[in-house]
Amino acid sequence: MRIAFLTAPEGVEEIELTQPWKAVLEAGWIPRLVSTEPGDVRAYRHLDKAGRHSVDDVVGEAEDGDGGGSGPAALADGFDALVLPGGVANPDALRLHGGAVEFVRHFVDAGKPVAAICHAPWTLVEAGAVSGRILTSWPSLATDIRNAGGTWVDEEVHVCRAAPSTLVTSRKPGDLDAFCAALVEEFGGHDNRRG
């Protein structure tokens, strides 16, 4: 399985990128770092600069509807599941990038599982993917999730299997063990259902 990790060029919470990445590798799957710009992404440990991570794939701007087979939807077709790491600046930048939002929306609409932690559900809100769904996040997003038609819960990890796709969500870095276990279970179950 190929797993996309979508981040902005700067502001991703490093542990929320590296620990799920390690879990995906240990499951025998292929993680790929997708961003809105080529090169490296700058990770952070809270507000302190951390490591740089090489971008594998670049999500372009939203397609103009010409059906030419390129753009965010075509890129998303090459993956089986999506991980959205948090950090405050990361999802805030992604939700302003039309191509990133379309990329996320395509996973949800295609019924592919998505895992989002901390502030990452902001991107799900922007993609119109939380209405009628139950999820968790960093507590400051609760009102945004409710305003978008979702139900916010204060849980270490929450798995919502409502159609069209499974959402695995967690609140913060302290929830990463539960988050990683749930995403591996859900992504693996999705792969088994496909095969």
Cα 55 from chain centroid (whole Å):
15
Decide: helix, strand or coil at residue 168.
Answer: strand
Residue in 53, 118, 160, 180 annotated catalytic: 118
Q: Is 160 tagged catalytic?
A: no
How far lies 156's CA from each of 21, 123, 180, in Å?
19, 20, 11
Out of 53, 97, 106, 119, which one is annotated catalytic? 119
CA distance 43 to 38: 15
Please confirm, yes or no, whether 53 is among the known catalytic residues: no
d(CA 52, CA 1): 25
DSSP 125-148: HHTT--TT-EE---GGGHHHHHHT
182: CB partners within 8 A, 6+ apart = 115, 157, 159, 168, 170
- Which positions are annotated as active-site residues? 118-119
